[in-house]
Chain A
């Protein structure tokens, strides 16, 4: 049973380009969460999604960032027109349809570098 899979593990983008980060939750998990970790800081909540629904996006920047979790396929975190300040590690976690968040499993993260 594979864990939460994130790809790519490392992503380099030039300023102004788009970044797409993918997250495949564990089998049977229908809740996905995205977090961002800036250098020397803890993880910051961005968004909580269920299949085809955004449940809580209170941590998402108002512009350039979007997330989706379609009925089929992985969850995507999309960053348009990236800037140097977007450089960070982005972690995805997933949890089953029942139970508290503590049962969530984290992926290894995608490290985005904007040059």
Chain B
């Protein structure tokens, strides 16, 4: 069965420190991988995606993610966290054989960045 796991419900980071939000996936075919962010009372905003090509993907707001096929992971990273990065982060995967809207989301990880 296809699935996405975000093993941490919450990640706490001090401002200026690097951050990592973890994501692992399981799909039967080659995956499309995504990260979205949700601020309070807002809809989800797209951050970045991996379709093919370079394993290191750069996205919005200074975020990046590394696709690791052997570990089936797609961890989200940022070199220096900002307080304004505090939000709920969702990893999602799509089996390329599925319809374009049929994404499987993780449960989300709450990122808290303290001054």
* Contact between chains at B51 and A3 (CB < 8 Å): no
* Contact between chains at A101 and B101 (CB < 8 Å): yes
* Contact between chains at A102 and B44 (CB < 8 Å): no
Nearest residue (CB) in A for B46 is A102
Residues of B within 8 A of A40 (CB): 107
Number of residue pairs spanning A and B whose beta carbons lie under 8 angstroms apart: 72
Q: Which of A31-62 contact B (CB under 8 A)?
A: 31, 33, 35, 40-45, 48, 55-56, 58-59
Question: Bound state CA distance, A80 and B90, in angstroms?
Answer: 30
A72 at the interface (CB under 8 A from B): no
* Contact between chains at B107 and A106 (CB < 8 Å): no
Residues of A within 8 A of B94 (CB): 101
A4 at the interface (CB under 8 A from B): yes
* Contact between chains at A42 and B108 (CB < 8 Å): yes
Residue contacts A-B, CB under 8 angstroms, 13 given: A33-B101, A42-B4, A42-B106, A45-B102, A48-B99, A91-B43, A93-B44, A95-B101, A100-B49, A102-B34, A103-B46, A106-B43, A108-B42
